[in-house]
Amino acid sequence: MIKTESVDSMEPMLPPDGSRKLENLAFDLATKASGLASQVQPTVRESVGNLVRSMNCYYSNLIEGHDTHPRDIDRALAHADYSSDPRRRSLQKEAVAHIEVQQMIDSGEDLRIEPTSAEYIAWLHNEFCKRLPEEMLWIENPDTRESIQIKGGILRDGWVQVGKHIPPNAEDLPRFLNRFAEAYNSNKLSRQSQIIAVGAAHHRLLWIHPFFDGNGRVTRLMSHASLQRCGVGSSLWSVARGLARNVHDYKALLMSADSQRRSDFDGRGTLSTKTLTEFCEFFLSICIDQVDYMASLLEPNDFLRRMRLHIEDEIAVGSLPKGSFHLLREAWLTGEVQRGRAPEITSYGERMARSVVSSLIKKGYLKSQTPRSPLFLAFPLDAVERWFPRLYPQNKV
């Protein structure tokens, strides 16, 4: 008979109150995230969000050991153009699944309930899994070599081990998830505590390991939603990029936070308070680093300078017509451009101005909802490295 495990084995759920370092980090993140949001015109923010979702998916895949090329992701998203190679095609579909679920979060089309609730976590897992190809819904039990089918939103019904950590028994998962939801209920936490709690919840959900597979992906999506709900997250930045770029520290600190209480000076829970606090500090520091990074990229004068230099190079080699930068700059500054203003902005006659617009649309720099609707800025992959340096690893774009 399997012994029932006490939910106390997951305590503490939060770092202790009064940690000056964590409080300062939470304050800095809230302040800087607010500043970032004010930098970008709302319509442009939507276009940047599309780019960041694709980037977020790339880095989330990378953490899972799936190195999907950004161009493969772009082809799948823009043209439903999937590789003939089975593995690359599966990775493309996995990427699209992640992006579509995050899009639902960013647009408010997700469940409007607590992201740390069992229902929301199951929803994330189901939405992700139902978009995956069949071959990615099977894993092999490393002990028995048995094939296990992954069912979207359904808690695992068997024993697992993750490294040295043995998560709770399957029979105990509902109780652990109930305690998880109770501990991180935003109605019971101040805004500052909510921000700090995102890191703690990130670790504790991975510790529970509620599904046979997909836990890392679900946890990062839950963290993304939680950051948005407490007012610091947005579609303009991604914690996944920072975690992937510091993946060794990320995994080491996750493992460290699994450890048992070390002494009488290490809190009163079963697990170590010190290592949970260290993970939360790391997590918030990564968030701040990524907000700072995107704020530096989106600083208006610097962004327009990089755009101008790139477009001038494209004009010099004949890839774009003269007048292109003026239209793109206007779209950046105002959010959208009425097509009838193209002659005024480019200082060309109507026919030539239409040719400039057509060229920019064809190459993906401008988009519109219909052939007559206003133009808005887009970010083709060919421009990403020049406009958003270091967004992806070197030689990846």
Eight-state DSSP code of residue 139: E
Tell me: do 59 and 166 sit in the same domain.
yes
Phi and psi of 281, rounded to 5°?
-60, -45
What is the signed CA dihedral for 48, 54, 59, 64, rounded to 10 degrees?
150
CA dihedral 40, 292, 54, 186 (to 10 degrees): -90
Check which CATH number belongs to the domain holding 267 and give it. Answer: 1.10.3290.10
Contacts 24+ apart (CB under 8 A), 347-350: 347/323, 348/323
Is residue 375 helix, strand or coil? strand
Q: Up-side HSE of residue 47: CA atoms within 13 Å toward CB?
A: 23
What is the CATH classification number for the domain harbouring 305? 1.10.10.10
Query: Are residues 307 and 228 both part of a single domain?
Result: no
Identify the sign of the CA torsion 111, 112, 115, 119. Answer: negative
Active site residue 310: no
Tell me, yes or no, whether 267 and 360 share the same domain.
Answer: no
Q: Is the domain of 279 the same as that of 332?
A: no
Looking at the structure, tell me whether residues 248 and 381 fall in a common domain: no
The per-residue pLDDT for range 137-150, each reduced to its tens digit, is: 999 877 677 899 99
What is the model's pLDDT at position 5?
A: 86
Q: Look at residue 289 and tell me if it is in a domain.
A: yes
Domain that holds residue 234: 7-298
Question: Which residue numbers belong to the known binding site for ATP?
Answer: 162-165, 213-220
Residues 149 and 292 in one domain: yes
* Claim to verify: residue 60 and residue 141 sit in the same structural domain: yes
Is residue 396 in some structural domain?
no
Do 335 and 195 reside in the same domain of the chain? no
For 13, 138, 143, the CA distances from 149, given in Å and listed in that order, are: 31, 5, 16
Contact 346, 323 (CB under 8 A): yes
3 state DSSP class of 105: helix
Residues 361 and 335 in one domain: yes
Q: Is residue 257 part of a domain?
A: yes
Note the pLDDT of residue 144.
74
**Total domain count, the chain:** 2
Q: What is the pLDDT of residues 198-216, one digit of tens each?
A: 999 999 999 999 999 999 9
Is residue 1 situated within a structural domain?
no
Residue ending a domain, among 271, 298, 325, is 298
Chosen domain end from 265, 298, 331: 298
pTM (2 d.p.): 0.94
Phi-psi category of residue 370: left, alpha or beta, with phi > 0 → left and psi -120 to 50 → alpha: beta
Same domain, 75 and 212: yes
Pair 197, 132 in one domain: yes
CB 83 within 8 A of CB 74: no
Q: Which of 202, 209, 224, 310 is catalytic?
A: 209
**Residue 377 dihedral angles phi and psi, to the nearest 5°:** -70, 140
Q: What is the DSSP string of 266-299?
A: S-SSSB-HHHHHHHHHHHHHHHHHHHHHHHHHT-
Cα separation, 197 vs 203, whole angstroms: 10
Per-residue pLDDT for the chain (397 aa), expressed as one digit of tens each? 456 789 999 999 999 998 999 999 999 999 999 999 888 889 999 999 999 999 999 999 999 998 888 989 988 887 788 889 999 999 999 999 999 999 999 999 999 999 999 999 999 999 999 999 999 999 987 767 789 999 999 999 999 999 899 999 999 999 999 999 999 999 999 999 999 999 999 999 999 999 999 999 999 999 999 999 999 999 999 999 999 999 999 999 999 999 999 998 888 999 999 999 999 999 999 999 999 999 999 999 999 999 999 999 999 999 999 999 999 999 999 999 999 999 999 999 999 999 999 999 999 999 999 989 999 999 999 899 999 999 999 877 7
Can you give the pLDDT at residue 98? Answer: 95
